[in-house]
Amino acid sequence: MSGILAHLVQRIQDAADILKKSHRIAILTGAGISTPSGIPDFRSPDSGLWEQFDPLEVASLATFRYQPDAFFHWLHPLANKILKAVPNRAHLALADLQKFSQDVTVITQNIDGLHQKAGSTHVLEVHGNLRTLTCVSCFDQVPSDSYLDTYLKNLSIPKCSKCHSILKPDVVLMGEQLPARVWLQAQETSKHCDLMIVAGSSLEVLPVAGLPMRAIENGAHLIIINHSKTYIDVRADIVFHENVDEILPMIVQEVSRDEL
């Protein structure tokens, strides 16, 4: 076994040991956990969505209000990928972890719903999701299922059946506030956890990027699994700059050996 491999195995064991001793676990996930499922992230060089589009022009609240067709045109290929995507090993590992540990909360910046598809039951979607739509005029909220086929096939903008105004997907756009109830739960979870694991997030988007700091300031351990460096690496107990869909399942597998 090479020195590099041995060092990686030891860090996986160390991470598993911390996890086994923890009672309230928060998992903060970002776009990097879903890229192995074929969903592009936002900031990777060459492949990130913001390398191809200006977010203020296509994914802001102002664009949606004044040029909704531009927003729906941008969303179309991403929505196609999200709806076809299946959970990868990292998503499945977190669902397994919730079976072994009683208090595990997933806080996700993703809108793809892959945690729920994998079987996770306690998921806080701080940036919303595509499962529902809300009317911009009468605020009626409806499931998106009945509108998706027409939108994906014809790029038809969804309209409210009651007042015929545009239906907005319940995702958080730039310039829009996070959903208050979910955000409060995420803050409380971060404050009271004794371990936070950051999985696939570069921690560049506020206010979510501040949650790990809230956790460690209240005495929690911190494990980071992300390809690129984050601002809080120096404060973490263990850092993996590796593939999250490889490292996370290995850590959970190590934990599960004592549970089975």
Which are the catalytic amino acids?
A: 127
Sign of the torsion angle spanned by Cα atoms 75, 81, 82, 88: negative
CA distance 216 to 25: 12
Q: Which residue has the tokens 């107990």?
A: 237
Reduced to 3 states (helix: H, G, I; strand: E, B; else coil), residue 37 is helix
Render the burial of 202-211: b for 16+ CB within 10 Å, e for the rest.
bbebeebbeb
Cβ–Cβ under 8 Å, residues 130 and 111: yes
End-to-end Cα distance, the chain: 28
Rounded Cα–Cα distance for residues 118 and 191 (Å): 26
Nearest 5°: the CA angle 14, 15, 18 is: 90
Instruction: Give the span between the Cα atoms of 124 and 22, in whole angstroms.
Output: 20
CA 197 to chain centre: 12
